[in-house]
Chain A
């Protein structure tokens, strides 16, 4: 079993990149590898409660639901959140210190910045 880490670091609504990163993360579990998703920099906005339907963007509900069901770790970088004044994130996403982000990346067999 490999440890695969996907890093989400872009704003969520200007392009479909973040939703695709989550879809890809779900797919990467299909060979029973351990997948962790890290939200860092502007990517932490993806970990917040939003209403993208208001601008005709489908919310990534299915992707988050699948990642939860598959028990994938989802980590949000605390310094990135603090810098942007974000205090609340989605349940099942854990706010962690930068050291844990670095440790997770170091321990990964594959890191995919998306």
Chain B
């Protein structure tokens, strides 16, 4: 199963921890996980534990427009994409969850 996740809140919000734990659990059960970060959610790339999800096979894409607005620097392994990438995640996901 492919799980899509939208995260729009910054790392101090409990959503970040929830997304990390859901993503880890889903990967451990062999599911594909794609996360899209936009709005203040782009700040999560600066959260070490969150960014390390990439090493567990989670695909993370960030809205480059929002990242540039907030001067968020590029991080290895995280795609600086666009709303088109979000549309692709929503279109292809079997389940899609929004945290905002």
Contact surface of A with B, Cβ cutoff 8 Å: 2, 4, 16-17, 20, 23-24, 26-31, 33, 109-114
Contacts and interface: CB of A to CB of B under 8 A. Distances in A.
Contact of B83 (A2, A4, A26): A26
B8 interface: yes
9 contacts: A20-B8, A20-B38, A20-B66, A24-B38, A27-B82, A27-B83, A110-B98, A112-B100, A114-B100
Nearest to B65: A23
A17 B39 contact: yes
A12 to B, nearest CB: 15
A30 B87 contact: yes
Given A29-B87, A30-B83, A111 B98 contact: yes
Interface residues of B, number: 17
B96 A24 contact: no
Contacts of B96: 109-110
A93 B98 CA distance: 24
A27 B100 contact: no
